[in-house]
Amino acid sequence: MKKCLYVSIAMFGVAALLSFTQQKSGSSIAEVSTSAKAAAVADTAKTAPVAAAKEVKLKPYKKNVLATYYADKFNGRKTSSGERFDNKKYTAAHMKLPFGTMVRVTNEANGKWVDVKVNDRGPYNKKLEIDLTKKAFMEIASNKSSGTFKVKIEIIETK
């Protein structure tokens, strides 16, 4: 009951503050949120990695191959490259590509793609070509309940 009362009071205070600032400045809430978004984009652009600013060239590697994702039980374990595995990052395991290679993995069914860094070896099943982190896999999956889908792999070369 107390929590509900505190939330109601807080919401009333925010509403009153917004209406006061709207009357005072003459701007609408939409204008304020648009300028806040613009500021956030500007901050992101300042902190973007230098590699993003470079020209990217894609070198075709393989088409129509299967991708899968790591199980959560691997979180915190060391990868073959020596890094700690984190299912919330954009990394991948591949049997042949050198560690540190950046690849673009494109879901052939829906055209969504993600850029990942190779930092581990695997998958150890001959039918599978690449293991993605769960975050990268779910970002490009068209069916979130599937465990594999066909992808196109391209090597990213920066100039």
pLDDT tens track of the chain, all 159 residues?
444 444 444 444 444 444 443 444 444 433 333 333 333 333 333 333 445 557 889 999 999 999 999 999 999 999 999 999 999 999 999 999 999 999 999 999 999 999 999 999 999 999 999 999 999 999 999 998 999 999 999 999 987
Q: What is the pLDDT of residue 53?
A: 56
pLDDT at 55: 84
Q: How far is CA 56 from its chain centroid?
A: 18
pTM for the model: 0.66
Contacts of 106 (CB under 8 A, 6+ apart): 112, 113, 140, 151, 152, 153, 154
Residue 90 has what pLDDT? Answer: 98
Contacts of 62 (CB under 8 A, 6+ apart): 129, 152, 153
3-state secondary structure of 11: helix
pLDDT of residue 52: 55
